[in-house]
């Protein structure tokens, strides 16, 4: 199906909350030539893993983010450069994540000394309600406005971080420009393709920001009702060839 897109002159790109090394195994099978957006757009790399550009969290914010996450009783991971740092080996989802990204985390007693150049802070818990509440708390804590609202009521709200769940049990906190909506705009710039000519496919809450920026959006069949409501179309589930069906029906034979 990816080759069919190429034959039709349609470029294919991927984005994920994963670190660059956690996406490496996809490059050859998918024959990727486009920029790859790791950390939800916190880092753009070439297929040879060289960095095109990156957005990291300000060091003075990282500790506050960690404090808020731990106050909601979530575990914390940090991604910095190409490395993944944790405080507890075999904590919830660590082993599964290691299998997924194909490299091991670095275990540290605490995160002091590695607060700079952090691409992503992750809060993890199987208490899904706690993760959702933490997401709202981080968004509220780090929201604000640029300039004075009184002097200029038309100013847009501004946030010093982007906080969204990449899985029901993962809360990803990244630079405010590192979100999947920003990925759409960045790829439009890099590939010289208008955003309204980009189609996006996803299934998680953090995919809705890219849905809002692309010309058409397609939710996978296993997505939540919230994600489906944000999309232009809904395809079948991953277990029922959802990606292939989406590409065939809504991209290669795009509705007029």
Structural domain of residue 240, as residue ranges? 2-55+179-252
The mean pLDDT value of the chain amounts to: 90
Q: Are residues 168 and 74 in the same domain?
A: yes
User: Residue 144's pLDDT is what?
Assistant: 58
CATH number for 204: 3.40.50.1000
Last residue of a domain, one of 157, 174, 191: 174
Neighbours of 147 (CB within 10 A): 10
Neighbours of 90 (CB within 10 A): 10
Q: Are residues 72 and 160 in the same domain?
A: yes
Strand partners, 225: none
d(CA 58, CA 140): 18
Q: Are residues 83 and 121 in the same domain?
A: yes
d(CA 177, CA 27): 24
- pTM > 0.85: yes or no: no
User: Residue 145's pLDDT is what?
Assistant: 37
Last residue of a domain, one of 174, 192, 213: 174
Q: Which stretches of 51-195 are DSSP H helices?
A: 59-71, 94-101, 128-141, 180-191
Query: Which pLDDT tens digit goes with each residue over 181-219?
Result: 999 999 999 999 999 999 999 999 889 999 999 999 999
Last residue of a domain, one of 134, 150, 174: 174
| Count: domains in the chain | 2
Q: Are residues 95 and 199 in the same domain?
A: no
Q: Are residues 88 and 105 in the same domain?
A: yes
User: Residue 81's pLDDT is what?
Assistant: 81
Q: Are residues 166 and 76 in the same domain?
A: yes
User: Residue 222's pLDDT is what?
Assistant: 97
Q: Are residues 13 and 78 in the same domain?
A: no
User: Residue 153's pLDDT is what?
Assistant: 39
User: Residue 178's pLDDT is what?
Assistant: 87
Q: Indicate if the pLDDT at residue 4 is higher than 50.
A: yes
Query: Which pLDDT tens digit goes with each residue over 51-85?
Result: 999 999 988 899 999 999 999 999 999 999 889 99
Query: Which pLDDT tens digit goes with each residue over 106-164?
Result: 999 999 999 999 999 999 999 999 999 999 999 999 985 333 333 343 434 457 898 98
Distances 184 to 177, 189, 197, 208, 217 between C-alpha atoms, Å = 11, 9, 10, 11, 11
User: Residue 256's pLDDT is what?
Assistant: 56
User: Residue 147's pLDDT is what?
Assistant: 34
Q: Are residues 92 and 70 in the same domain?
A: yes
């Amino acid at each position: 199906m990816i080759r069919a897109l190429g034959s039709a002159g349609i470029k294919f790109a991927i984005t994920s909350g994963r670190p660059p090394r956690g996406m490496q195994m996809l490059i050859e099978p998918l024959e990727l030539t486009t920029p790859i957006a790791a950390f939800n757009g916190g880092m753009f790399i070439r297929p040879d893993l060289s960095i095109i550009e990156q957005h990291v969290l300000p060091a003075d914010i990282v500790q506050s983010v960690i404090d808020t996450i731990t106050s909601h009783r979530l575990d914390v991971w940090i991604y910095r450069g190409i490395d993944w740092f944790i405080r507890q080996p075999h904590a919830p989802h660590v082993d599964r994540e290691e299998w997924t990204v194909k490299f091991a985390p670095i275990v540290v007693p605490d995160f002091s000394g590695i607060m700079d150049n952090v691409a992503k802070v992750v809060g993890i818990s199987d208490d899904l309600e706690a993760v959702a509440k933490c997401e709202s708390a981080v968004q509220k804590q780090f929201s604000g406005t640029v300039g004075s609202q009184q002097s200029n009521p038309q100013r847009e709200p501004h946030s010093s971080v982007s906080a969204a769940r990449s899985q029901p049990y993962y809360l990803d906190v990244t630079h405010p420009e590192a979100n999947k909506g920003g990925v759409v705009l960045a790829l439009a710039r890099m590939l010289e393709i208008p955003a309204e000519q980009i189609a996006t496919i996803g299934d998680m809450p953090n995919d809705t920001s890219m849905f809002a920026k692309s010309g058409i959006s397609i939710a996978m069949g296993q997505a939540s009702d919230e994600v489906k409501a944000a999309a232009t179309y809904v395809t079948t589930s991953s277990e029922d060839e959802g990606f292939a069906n989406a590409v065939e029906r809504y991209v290669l034979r795009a509705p007029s």
